[in-house]
Amino acid sequence: MKKNALLIIDPQNDFCNPGDNNGKGKGALYVAGADQDMQRLASWINKNNDSIDFIGVTIDSHQPNDISHPSFWQDKDGNFPPPFTVVTVADVESGKWTPRFDPKRCLAYLHSLESQGEYPHVIWPTHCVIGSEGAAIYQPLMDAMIKWTVNGKFFQTVAKGTFPFTEHFGAFRANIPDAERPETQLNQGLLKTLETYQNVYLAGEAKSHCVANSLKQVLDEAPELAKRFIVLEDAMSNVTGFETLGDPIYLKARQMGVRFATTANVTL
């Protein structure tokens, strides 16, 4: 069995770039502290360059018209909802918000999401649009990853979120998988790859959403693999206003044997 894998969740400009002093270049969905998280992670990769055997990176990848973006929805006057609006089944059934695309599918999606009872359907700022600068990996981390490859290694990227009718927070499947869309279903290949490593270090953005859901999916789908996970707590931050949303997942992870550490106290 190979030793050390690193799984990095969505280390992209739209989450990680704080912009300059005037806010120019700031990520569309900048997570406060994410730039420092990725600087610490980059330093950790450089420090442990020879001892990291695998790096996997998820890439949040959206159409502009995505179910979580404003332009997907409208009110009776044709206005799009502002970012951070929560859209519920009741909102759609009352006509407060109407999906512009495939309303029947969208209502069924919201019903399924609400039956899970975990994450509400939030409208985010339009972010990580496929091919955009915001979707690119944050440069300080990219530099460290490229330096890591010089020894003859290859990092793996995993696109998620490309199907616009479901959120895809976690690394391994969409929040509500679509039976007709393989890209939304459980990524068995990624799980099998990680199962070949003794340790799987987990980092990325955001702690409250995509990192938490990635961890939950491993707990649910591969509990024995989950015991090999080490969460790098100083290489992730919460979306402001959602600081406690992922707490139940992290509590369950601790109870199931997941380890927690920081880049400062782990040397490979």
pLDDT band at 166; cut points 50, 70, 90: very high
In DSSP terms, which residues pair with 160 in a beta bridge? 60
Residue 35 lies in a domain: yes
74 shares a domain with 60: no
The answer on 168 and 91 residing in a single domain is no
**Residue 215 structural domain:** 2-64+127-195+208-261
Any idea what DSSP says for residue 183? Answer: G
How many whole angstroms separate alpha carbon 221 and alpha carbon 130?
A: 28
> pLDDT (tens digit, 9 = 90+) per residue, 2-44?
999 999 999 999 999 999 888 789 999 999 999 999 999 999 9
158 part of a folded domain: yes
Tell me which residue of 85, 66, 65 sits closest to 75, measured CA to CA: 85
Structure tokens at 230: 């080490």
Task: Please choose, from the candidates 119, 132, 108, 121, the residue with its C-alpha nearest in 3D space to the C-alpha of residue 81.
Answer: 121
Q: For residue 239, is it within any domain?
A: yes
Task: Please state whether beta strands 156-160 and 197-204 pair in parallel, antiparallel, or not at all (unpaired).
Answer: unpaired
User: Apex CA 158: angle with CA 51 and CA 219, to 5°?
Assistant: 75
Contact 250, 218 (CB under 8 A): no
Residue 156, class by beta-carbon neighbours within 10 Å (0-12 exposed, 13-18 middle, 19+ buried)? middle
Those residues whose C-beta lies under 8 Å from the C-beta of residue 134, and which sit 6 or more positions away, are 12, 13, 14, 17, 27, 28, 127, 128
Q: How many whole angstroms separate alpha carbon 17 and alpha carbon 119?
A: 25
Shared-domain flag, residues 48 and 75: no
- Shared-domain flag, residues 239 and 188: yes
59 vs 100: CA distance, rounded Å: 26
Domain count, the chain: 2
Strand duo 54-60 + 2-9: pairing? parallel
Same domain membership, residue 24 and residue 74? no
Instruction: List, in order, residues 6 or more apart from 168 with CB less than 8 Å away.
Output: 60, 160, 161, 162, 174, 175, 184
Are 74 and 45 found together in one domain?
Answer: no
CATH number for the domain including 171?
A: 3.40.50.850
CA-to-CA dists, residue 136 to 8, 111, 157, 205, 256, angstroms? 14, 33, 12, 14, 34
- pLDDT (0 to 100) of residue 117: 87
Same domain, 10 and 134: yes
Convert the pLDDT of each residue in 43-81 to its tens digit.
Answer: 999 999 999 999 999 999 999 999 999 999 999 999 999
Q: Is 78 helix (H, G, I), strand (E, B) or coil?
A: coil
Please name every residue paired with 260 in a beta bridge, in sequence order, or none if there are none. 231
pLDDT reported for residue 21? 83
- What are the pLDDT digits (tens) for 107-136? 999 999 999 988 999 999 999 999 999 999
Whether 35 and 153 share a structural domain? yes
Burial of 267 (0-12, 13-18, 19+ CB in 10 A): exposed
